[in-house]
Amino acid sequence: MKHLRIGIPRGLLFYSCAESWKRFFQDLGCETVPSPETTADILKEGIRHTVSDLCLPVKTFLGHVAVLKDCVDLLFIPRHVSMEQESYLCPKMIGLPDMTRACFANLPLVLDPLFHVKQFGDKAIDEFTRPVAEALSLSPARVADAYREHMDHHTEVPAEQRRRSERLLAEDAVVPRSSGKLNIGIIGRPYLLFDRYLSKNLFHFSRKLGVNPLSLRPDESEIREAMAVIPKWVYWDMGKEVVAAAHVFFKDDRVDGVINLCSAACGPDSFTGDLIRKRLNQRNKPYMSLSLDEHTSDVGVQTRLEAFIDMIAKVTA
């Protein structure tokens, strides 16, 4: 078999699954080529290729595709429809491979296996691995084995993200009151939070302001607990995690304030944001929703962050 170079655009689900994708393909004898971290040029390239008022993360994703498309043999853009029985991903992620094909004229082969637990249940893995096996001319059984080995637990997070999303309750992540530092919970979708360019380096900047930024990936029991508080199960995969993270932060006494980082015109977040603000924040903690689009400037974000911190200082004083 030819040694294949598989391009993985650094956007959207990359920030949740990249590490396992990488190991999965390595096991199958392929090399993965992630695109570089987002820059202004990549975003500009994405905006140039998009044709409609799509949201910021999708534009960024397409920018990454533009960077990769001429230097790889294959593009890996999986179609994740549902990760669990009772959930869906955002329609834009469901249509992502098709949108990518529609936006570019000369793409390498796009590998777009379907991942749909709601429809296929336990067979979802087979559905997912069959097209991969076909494209790489490997036996389906081998690909399925590699999948079970590396991807079955999506809790794997990329090293970079793991460093930042240390569990809230690990004592070293939270700073004690006595230190005079504020603990601020930052919630949002991984592809915004951990993209340094899109989040305008929010983590770094808040540390510079002497604040301890926290983020977390809620586990199953935390998600279930949060869903019990709101009237209806949130059926978007990532939206659910955002809501659960918000719930944990609002509940925890050591967290002084919560920032919700979302992209402007994000469909699910327009609704979950409302839920978070009205249903979950019952103790009236300082809460700020920060929406990003391609016109957002570093300075704008920084000013709002400073104002937010000043406000918390006033409230807690």
Partner 1 sequence: MRLTVPHMGLLSTAYTRVLRQHGVDMQPPPAATLKTLNLGVKHSPEFACLPFKINLGNMIEALDNGANAILMPGGYGPCRFGYYGVIQEQILRELGYRFRMSTTDNPDRLSDMIDTIREISRIRNRFDGYRVFFLILMRMAALDRATALYHYYKPREINREDTDTVLRQAVRLIDLADSYPRLFRTMPEITRMFRAIPIDKALNPVTVGVLGEIFVVIEPFANLAIEKKLGEMRVEVRRGVWLSDWLNDRFRFRPFRRNQTTYAKKLARGYLNYPAGGESIETVGKTLLFQKKGVDGVVHIMPFTCMPELVASTIITRISKDRDYPVLSLTFDEHVSEANIITRLEAFVDLLERRRDEGIYRH
AA letter at 120: F
Q: In angstroms, what is the minimal distance from the CB of 123 to partner 1?
A: 16
User: 32 or 296, CB closer to partner 1?
Assistant: 296
CA-nearest of 249, 91, 90, 217 to 153 is: 217
First to last CA, the chain: 66
User: 35 or 87, CB closer to partner 1?
Assistant: 87
Q: In angstroms, what is the minimal distance from the CB of 309 to partner 1?
A: 24
* 142: CB partners within 8 A, 6+ apart: 28, 133
Q: In angstroms, what is the minimal distance from the CB of 4 to partner 1?
A: 22
3-state secondary structure of 90: coil
User: 114 or 175, CB closer to partner 1?
Assistant: 114
Q: In angstroms, what is the minimal distance from the CB of 189 to partner 1?
A: 14
Longest CA span, the chain = 66
> How do strand 182-188 and strand 287-292 relate by DSSP bridges?
unpaired
> How do strand 5-8 and strand 31-34 relate by DSSP bridges?
parallel
Q: In angstroms, what is the minimal distance from the CB of 233 to partner 1?
A: 8
Q: In angstroms, what is the minimal distance from the CB of 80 to partner 1?
A: 11
Kindly report the number of other CB atoms within 10 A of residue 165's CB atom: 19
Provide the binding-site residues for partner 1, judged by CB under 8 A.
50-54, 79, 81, 86, 88-92, 94-95, 97-99, 101-103, 112, 114, 230-236, 264-271, 273-275, 278-279
* 249: CB partners within 8 A, 6+ apart: 168, 185, 187, 214, 216, 255, 258, 285
Q: In angstroms, what is the minimal distance from the CB of 173 to partner 1?
A: 31
User: 251 or 279, CB closer to partner 1?
Assistant: 279
User: 234 or 259, CB closer to partner 1?
Assistant: 234
Backbone phi, psi, residue 4, to 5°:
-95, 145
User: 34 or 95, CB closer to partner 1?
Assistant: 95
User: 104 or 205, CB closer to partner 1?
Assistant: 104
Sign of the dihedral defined by the CA atoms of residues 228, 231, 237, 240, in that order: negative
* CA gap 156, 15 in Å, rounded: 10
